[in-house]
Amino acid sequence: MLLIDTRPQAPVTPIRFVSVDTWDQVASGLGGQALAYAKATGFEPKAGRHCLLPAPDGALACVLFGLERAGAPKYDSFLPGKLATLLPAGTYEFVDLPGGAKAAEFAALAWCLSAYRFTRYRKQTSQQPVLLCPEGVDGARLRRIVEGVTLARDLVNTPANDMGPSALEKAACALGEKYGLKPCVIAGDDLIKYNFPLIHAVGRAAHEAPRLVDFVVGPPDAPKVTLVGKGVCFDTGGLDIKPSSAMLLMKKDMAGAATALALAHMILDAKLNVRLRVLIPIVENAVSANSFRPGDVCASRKGLQVEIGNTDAEGRLILADALALAAEDKPDLLLDFATLTGAARVALGPDLPPFFTGDDKLAAEIAEIGMAEHDPVWRLPLWEAYDSLLDSKVADLNNVSSGPFAGSVTAALFLRRFVEGAASWVHFDIYGWNPSTKPGRPEGGETQAARLLYALLEKRYGQL
């Protein structure tokens, strides 16, 4: 963690934030040599521009960093995160950052998230800069959020040859065991024995057996919060095989599971007053002689018979069994996360995941907190008129719709069939990947919606 709470003995370099509104005042206090150097290097107080000002002895005296005018339409509270990748090794502190403690919290968070490196296969050789935790910012809270995001990013970035079903199970169990839990794992043909036929059907063709990880923690009388994450470690598309271009990022098809584990870490580390249950159905959607087929009719835990219209719509199948189990416990809040549909990306792009719920009050709260926490989501409707698109002529329902439109909506409507019993249910159709680097969001695996939901649960339920 590149964030410290205690001022070290070594010098701490100030980072001074400037804009076109404040530059004249800041410049007047820099001194003639420093100002001359800034001008000579072409520094202007524009958003994202920076300048390293030397001291007379050649050491680094100060860093200038440009921001947009406060309140400007393009103002980005995560922009200071760029500094974590621009500055040389050393210890730094924020000075003159407008916006108070909340702005400082976002800037520090963006610094830590920007500094993320995936080093499993290529070790990092250079030292990174360290930030002194800004005054008024809860360093412990910030760390648990960054640790959760880092956990998820590492899982998503790991390729499927090292993040298959057994490895993802191990990661999920390790999180539970860290907090003194003994997770329950049901694997292979035991999924049939214990009535998880859809998870078994999707994963049975792979070399590593399908499985379900389940753990529960918290006071029995606390509000029940259940997290379900899609854990498809690699998705070939099954017999409805994907083209190679569509398979390239399919190591990230377990980003829903990674997001659930990231949020679980935040909840458990903060000791929120909830009865937390985590359910991770884990498979690889592979091709072999015993792959499930288009046209098959598969039983589900809930008893509904599902016709397979497309084997590449496998995520909703494994979620269906896990959600049915979750709903049996009648949770107060049931949240699921899945890289479920390309239609969601067509509608909203990679940075803005849609979510679905029938709870209007909760939906408004999620949308508001998402914007406030710079973890945005957008509500799409559970449009009743489209529910009939899932009708089957031979079974209770089909796993895909009969038309080419509204793919994310019909996927959510499919999942809704399996959540009866939950007081409130929310489905997040995430992307789980940053296609390009932005402040706080380096290219690669990403967790979406976890930070906003942690803030929501913290607000609703508080600590034990």
231-290 pLDDT tens trace? 999 999 999 999 999 999 999 999 999 999 999 999 999 999 999 999 999 999 999 999
The full DSSP string for 227-280 is EEE-EEEEE--TTSPPPHHHHTTGGGGGHHHHHHHHHHHHHHHHTBSSEEEEEE
Whether residues 186 and 89 share a domain: the answer is no
Q: Given this model, what pLDDT does residue 404 score?
A: 93
Phi, psi of 208 (to 5 degrees): -95, 135
Q: Which residue, 137, 172, 203, sits at the end of a domain?
A: 137
Name the stretches of the chain with pLDDT < 50. none
* Structure token pair of residue 219: 């006071």
Cα–Cα distance between 427 and 357 in angstroms, integer? 7
76 and 218 fall within a common domain: no
In this prediction, residue 89 carries a pLDDT of: 93
Are 154 and 124 part of one and the same domain?
no
The CB density around residue 39, as the number of other CB atoms within 10 Å, is: 12
Crossing angle of helices 315-328 and 407-416, in 10° steps, is: 30
Instruction: Report which DSSP code applies to 358.
Output: S
SS3 label, residue 125: coil
Q: Are residues 235 and 163 in the same domain?
A: yes
Number of domains in the chain: 2
Residue 135, judged by CB atoms within 10 A of its CB (0-12, 13-18, 19+), counts as exposed
The reported pLDDT for the residue numbered 31 is 80
Same domain, 229 and 373: yes
The span from the CA of 371 to the CA of 390, in Å, is 33
Which of 137, 155, 180 corresponds to the end of one domain? 137
Q: The CATH number of the domain where 90 resides is what?
A: 3.40.220.10
156 and 85 in a single domain? The answer is no
The domain that contains 335 carries what CATH number? Answer: 3.40.630.10
Q: Give the CA distances from residue 288 to residues 189, 243, 295, 355, 444, in Å, rounded to whole numbers and listed in that order.
A: 17, 17, 17, 34, 30
Are 235 and 338 within one domain? yes
Task: Report d(CA 261, CA 255) in Å as an integer.
Answer: 10
Torsion, CA 285, CA 289, CA 291, CA 294, rounded to 10: 130
Same-domain pairing of 148 and 99? no
CA distance 257 to 259: 5
Q: Which of 16, 144, 224, 316 is catalytic?
A: 316
pLDDT at position 1: 58
Residue linked to tokens 């592979």: 286
The domain in which residue 74 lies consists of: 3-137
Q: Do 131 and 164 belong to one domain? A: no
What's the pLDDT at 227?
98
pLDDT for position 56: 86
Q: Are residues 215 and 334 in the same domain?
A: yes
Among candidate residues 88, 119, 137, the one where a domain is terminated:
137
Known catalytic residue at 316? yes
**Are 45 and 191 within one domain?**
no
Spot the catalytic one: 242, 379, 416, 460: 242
Residues 128 and 277 in one domain: no
